[in-house]
Chains A and B, each alone.
Chain A
């Protein structure tokens, strides 16, 4: 059953320096089509920095990122979104003064594009595209149980709903790879349980790959098919949850000597 799957994201020898300080070094990482992969490590290991490099918020100092067969050198954040990488943020970043629905609609920016002029003149193309956006956005909201709150300002949502909205917005861009930065942060065990189901169903329904950063080991071990461990910006281990759990280096990094 476990046949060689197509690699969606291939990261080779990736590294970044901040003013002489090496934050991440010699990272190799592969994410296959439609898999759920995990990136874990102690605080300050450089996990979010890896996400920032994958989405080109930071341009890597060394190494290559191949996404969907394309080299992404010198691509911008916007290019990466167009190429099919979407993300959420560790500290939630919503459009606070837009409604929940408009937050998701904003995610359709490049998917259902039309010019400002056709908006000003209310041309047929505007009506057609807006109808599609409306329909698709409402569908996304109902998947994430946010339909009731569609007219609420994003900043007025409860915490858990804000996390869900961020994922819905990311999915609105129709990504091939979704990066989740600590999706379970601040959630209680029951919410985390629901989140695990949700992540799985997102993968199945949208047929996309997911790479997530998480501290909650139960979640990581429960849903990730493969896990990469970072420590001090270096790759410590890589493998299935079972392999990671029994890896002595990992245990040492997490528990100390």
Chain B
């Protein structure tokens, strides 16, 4: 029966796992949507839905970079920032000419993806030649630079066209003109056109892109470069372009996530996407498991909700968050805990095999 699918073995092996991630996220979406419709979801939770989607998309992208490609990236928030502010500007600029919110959202997200991808390529080409911790620090530096640049950008438009200035606000708009970027104040007066459904669709698309990429020629090449650069080159894999592919897809997804995020709030400051945000996304990836997209989604949801669930603890919540983080890292890397987990895993696998 299994032989029917000639190209499908590779699909078969992880097909279950992949299907599971789609099923889980769809189920979760439907439940949330139903609860929202019936008014059973508190406004706090409702307000978290879109941000959770954004962080999931950014984390899926980062997992491609860190887990599958094996390069530590400490600047994912920088790419979110590029995507967010591009999208906010595009949406603001098109607000009159494209009245449909959905169409504008799609256009703005596409613009966010393209700009983040462009930055990914520009940054990736020189940087991916570096290795290990040096690569990590450069991505950190780029995150800082992007934040610093956007903090100093002034962009506006009126009937005479677009005006842009850098470091000092020299724009002088005619009456009726609109400021899109306002230096450290970021973007204000953005029309909120993001919604949960868009976030859900974005997650599904990101999963599709990442899975389809991993289980293909490119995915094998990306993992080959991670496992052994020298051997990968010896069989004709170009390391720079392979790593660049993973890096660019990762930053594009961050761009999409940022775009969705930016269009979910009426004001957005550049300082939102700082080093801490990059680290936060990295934490989701590491806790979810390197290369494990389902785990990444679960970790993101839990860790975004955790501080909110701990709200009753008030001042202690971030402290508890920190302790939980440290304990999880120590426990998951502890030999005894690990052995027990493998034992459980083996038992589950044994069951599956018995059934087949």
Q: Per-residue CB proximity of A87-115 to B under 8 Å, as 1/0?
A: 10100011111110110011111101110
**Residue numbers in A under 8 Å from B217 (CB-CB):** 108-109, 112-114, 116, 119, 129-130, 133
Q: Is A127 an interface residue (CB 8 A)?
A: yes
Q: Is A131 an interface residue (CB 8 A)?
A: yes
Q: Is B220 an interface residue (CB 8 A)?
A: yes
Residue of B nearest to A119 (CB): B216
Residues of A within 8 A of B (CB): 55, 57, 77-78, 81-82, 86-87, 89, 93-99, 101-102, 105-110, 112-114, 116, 119-122, 126-127, 129-131, 133-135, 151, 169-170, 172-173
Assuming the A-B contacts A81-B234, A95-B231, A116-B218, are A134 and B9 also in contact, with contact meaning beta carbons closer than 8 angstroms in the complex?
yes
Q: Which of B33-41, B89-97, B143-151, B235-243 contacts A (4 or more CB under 8 A)?
A: B235-243
**Residue numbers in A under 8 Å from B236 (CB-CB):** 78, 81-82, 109-110, 173
Assuming the A-B contacts A95-B228, A102-B10, are A109 and B213 also in contact, with contact meaning beta carbons closer than 8 angstroms in the complex?
no
Contact present for B237 and A106 (CB under 8 Å): yes
Using a Cβ–Cβ cut-off of 8 Å, how many residues does chain B contribute to the interface with A?
30
Q: Is B212 an interface residue (CB 8 A)?
A: yes
Contact present for A130 and B223 (CB under 8 Å): no
**Residue numbers in B under 8 Å from A108 (CB-CB):** 217
Partner of A134, one of B6, B213, B219: B6
**Residue numbers in A under 8 Å from B218 (CB-CB):** 116, 119
Q: Considering the chains assembled together, what is the distance between the CA atoms of A173 and B234 in angstroms?
A: 10
- 17 A-B pairs, CB-CB below 8 angstroms? A82-B236, A89-B231, A89-B234, A95-B223, A97-B227, A106-B232, A108-B217, A109-B217, A109-B237, A112-B217, A114-B217, A119-B219, A120-B208, A134-B7, A135-B6, A169-B235, A173-B236
The 4 A-B pairs at the shortest CB distance, nearest first, are namely A119-B216, A81-B236, A93-B231, A95-B227
Contact present for A86 and B216 (CB under 8 Å): no
Q: Considering the chains assembled together, what is the distance between the CA atoms of A206 and B227 in angstroms?
A: 28
Q: Is B221 an interface residue (CB 8 A)?
A: yes
Contacts A97-B227, A109-B217, A109-B221 supplied; 9 other A-B pairs, CB < 8 Å = A55-B234, A57-B234, A78-B237, A82-B236, A95-B227, A106-B220, A129-B217, A135-B6, A169-B235
Partner of B228, one of A87, A94, A112, A126: A94
